């Protein structure tokens, strides 16, 4: 595939193979990076230019670069996998390209042609393919864009850098799939109607970190946010969508709007519905959650996203109490089945009926 923009290629001096192999044995999450990066620049009046695949290196930024002051920054998170047969694949990358542009629109940033986004991602995957761990690891790709115009006036910037870096990763949560505990924040919210909740922008994360820190202090793994208007409706975790499995087998998940439209979320909804499961995208309140957990109507809860895939939630803590879901120590059958169905497709181990897998040459 080509976007029409010529990529200048400057090969990196790679980390020696033996050292690389040792590094990716236990890569952790997001702390190890590959040899290359892709950068493409955008200038007002000129569009996208200077596409490069080059050695990963620090940026040199002027202290007045707009992103450092007004946070015009968006990103994506996606993975490349190495299948049993050695083939390299990605999961629905065109969805990430589309969402990236939706985030860009919300943040008054330029659109990047989807072909160019995909070409950039494929270029770094191909160049750094030896960094993809075997087994259940993968190569996490982080496309992002920020404004680096040197200007302190407040308006959309006139110059941006699009970049893709890659990080070999293992499981997001340590604990081998054991359910996580989450903290319900009654102090902080993540997004309001008309705000940036549906955009994948760094600013959303900046605003969520204090709540995440509170969750850790409360002995929890993650925070879950309620809506900003009423502090009543469950929205999502800091970086994952959430699903509720009822005793009649049906599933409820919060509707789109102020939450991030997860590709994992959309894929799981489609897989569950294809399996005859009733999935409702509808508001679900924290009060209902508590009552349904206590009555036993609620059987399973899980969070989902590219990084952690599907993570069971076993315990919920809030100001004034705590409750469990199921036996709180193992992922329930619906959570496990959906996780396996999705991972099977992502890893090329089951039939890709929906054309979700893209092979990287
Ligand atoms: C990225 C993200 C998700 C998950 O989206 P996926 O496309 O499934 O990875 C959920 N919530 C937030 C806030 C996110 O940033």
DSSP for 48-66 reads EEEEEEEE-------TTBT
What digits encode the pLDDT tens for the residues 294-340?
Answer: 999 999 999 999 998 999 999 999 999 999 998 888 999 999 999 99
User: Does position 197 have pLDDT exceeding 70, yes or no?
Assistant: yes
User: Does position 1 have pLDDT exceeding 70, yes or no?
Assistant: no
User: Does position 274 have pLDDT exceeding 60, yes or no?
Assistant: yes
CB of 109 within 6 A of ligand 1: the answer is no
Locate the ligand 1 atom nearest the alpha carbon of residue 236 and give its number.
Answer: 11
Distance between terminal CA atoms of the chain? Answer: 10
Confidence class for position 198, pLDDT limits 50, 70, 90: very high
d(CA 239, CA 263): 12
User: Does position 283 have pLDDT exceeding 70, yes or no?
Assistant: yes
Closest C-alpha to ligand 1, atom 12: 239
- How many angstroms is it from 259 CA to the middle of ligand 1? 9
Q: Mean pLDDT throughout 225-245?
A: 97
CB of 264 within 6 A of ligand 1: the answer is yes
Among 112-116, 289-293, 307-311, the least confident range: 307-311
Residues of the chain above pLDDT 90, percent = 92
171-187 CB burial, b ≥16 within 10 A, e <16: bbbeeebebbbbbbbee
CB 269 within 8 A of CB 279: yes
CB of 200 within 6 A of ligand 1: the answer is yes
292 CB-side CA count, 13 A: 19
Q: What is the CA radius of gyration of the chain?
A: 21
DSSP for 90-152 reads EESHHHHHHHHHHHHHHTT-----HHHHHHHHHHHHHHTGGGS-STT-EEEEEEEEEE--B--
- Of 282, 272, 164, 276, nearest in space to 233 by CA: 282
CB of 124 within 6 A of ligand 1: the answer is no
Q: Mean pLDDT throughout 92-96?
A: 98
Closest C-alpha to ligand 1, atom 14: 239
Residues of the chain above pLDDT 70, percent = 99
Q: How far is CA 212 from CA 11, 216, 221, 305, in A?
A: 39, 6, 8, 17
CB of 118 within 6 A of ligand 1: the answer is no
- How many angstroms is it from 78 CA to the middle of ligand 1? 10
- How many angstroms is it from 172 CA to the middle of ligand 1? 13
Locate the ligand 1 atom nearest the alpha carbon of residue 96 and give its number.
Answer: 7
pLDDT attached to residue 83? 86
- How many angstroms is it from 267 CA to the middle of ligand 1? 12
- Say which CATH topology domain 7-169 has: D-amino Acid Aminotransferase; Chain A, domain 1 (3.30.470)
Strands 47-55 and 36-43: antiparallel
pLDDT attached to residue 10? 97
State both tokens at 251: 């599933």
Locate the ligand 1 atom nearest the alpha carbon of residue 99 and give its number.
Answer: 7
Locate the ligand 1 atom nearest the alpha carbon of residue 305 and give its number.
Answer: 8
What digits encode the pLDDT tens for the residues 141-155?
Answer: 999 999 999 999 999
pLDDT attached to residue 361? 83
What digits encode the pLDDT tens for the residues 36-84?
Answer: 999 999 999 999 999 999 999 999 999 999 999 999 999 999 999 998 8
pLDDT attached to residue 312? 96
- How many angstroms is it from 241 CA to the middle of ligand 1? 7
User: Does position 162 have pLDDT exceeding 60, yes or no?
Assistant: yes
**Mutational pocket test of ligand 1: of 143, 200, 206, 240, the residue with most ligand atoms within 8 Å of the beta carbon:** 240
Q: Where in the chain is the domain with CATH 3.30.470.10?
A: 7-169
Locate the ligand 1 atom nearest the alpha carbon of residue 265 and give its number.
Answer: 8
Q: Where in the chain is the domain with CATH 3.20.10.10?
A: 180-346
pLDDT attached to residue 265? 98
Closest C-alpha to ligand 1, atom 1: 239
Closest C-alpha to ligand 1, atom 10: 240
Q: Mean pLDDT throughout 272-288?
A: 98
**Mutational pocket test of ligand 1: of 200, 254, 267, the residue with most ligand atoms within 8 Å of the beta carbon:** 200
Write down the pTM of the prediction. 0.97
User: Does position 244 have pLDDT exceeding 90, yes or no?
Assistant: yes
**Sequence-separated (6 or more) residues with CB below 8 Å from residue 139:** 34, 79, 80, 81, 125, 128, 131, 132, 133, 166, 167, 168, 169
pLDDT attached to residue 2? 64
CB of 262 within 6 A of ligand 1: the answer is yes
The answer regarding whether domain 180-346 maps to CATH 3.90.1580.10 reads: no
Confidence class for position 172, pLDDT limits 50, 70, 90: confident
Reduce the DSSP state of residue 282 to 3 states and report it: coil
pLDDT attached to residue 326? 84
CB of 265 within 6 A of ligand 1: the answer is yes
Of 241 and 85, the one with more pLDDT: 241
Closest C-alpha to ligand 1, atom 5: 262
């Amino acid at each position: 595939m080509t976007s029409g923009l010529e990529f200048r290629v400057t090969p990196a001096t790679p980390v020696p193979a033996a050292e690389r192999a040792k590094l990716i044995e236990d890569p952790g999450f997001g702390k190890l990076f590959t040899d290359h990066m892709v950068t493409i620049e955008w200038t007002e009046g000129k569009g996208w230019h200077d596409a490069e695949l080059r050695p990963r290196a620090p940026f040199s930024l002027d202290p007045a670069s707009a992103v450092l002051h007004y946070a015009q920054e968006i990103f994506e998170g996606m993975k490349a996998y190495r299948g049993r047969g050695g083939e390299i694949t990605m999961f629905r990358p065109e969805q990430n390209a589309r969402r990236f542009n939706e985030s860009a629109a919300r943040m008054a940033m330029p659109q990047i042609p989807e072909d160019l986004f995909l070409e950039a991602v494929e270029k770094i995957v191909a160049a750094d393919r030896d960094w993809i761990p075997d087994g259940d690891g993968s190569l996490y790709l982080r496309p992002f864009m920020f404004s680096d115009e040197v200007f302190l006036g407040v308006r959309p910037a006139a110059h941006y850098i699009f970049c893709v870096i890659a990080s070999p990763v293992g499981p997001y949560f340590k604990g081998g799939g054991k359910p996580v505990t989450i903290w319900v924040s009654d102090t902080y919210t993540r997004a309001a109607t008309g705000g940036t909740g549906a955009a994948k922008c760094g600013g959303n994360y900046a605003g969520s970190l204090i709540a995440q820190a509170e969750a850790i202090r409360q002995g929890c793994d993650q925070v879950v946010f309620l809506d900003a208007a009423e502090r009543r409706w469950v929205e999502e975790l800091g970086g994952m969508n959430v699903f509720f499995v009822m005793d009649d087998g049906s599933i409820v998940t919060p509707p789109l709007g102020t939450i991030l439209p997860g590709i994992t979320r959309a894929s799981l909804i489609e897989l569950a519905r294809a399996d005859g499961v009733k999935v409702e995208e509808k508001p679900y309140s924290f009060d209902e959650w508590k009552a349904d957990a206590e009555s036993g109507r609620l059987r399973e809860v899980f969070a989902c996203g590219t990084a952690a895939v599907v993570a069971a939630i076993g315990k919920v803590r809030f100001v004034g109490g705590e409750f469990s879901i199921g036996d709180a120590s193992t992922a329930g059958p619906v959570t496990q089945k959906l996780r396996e169905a999705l991972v099977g497709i992502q890893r090329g181990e089951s039939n890709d009926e929906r054309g979700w897998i893209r092979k990287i040459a």
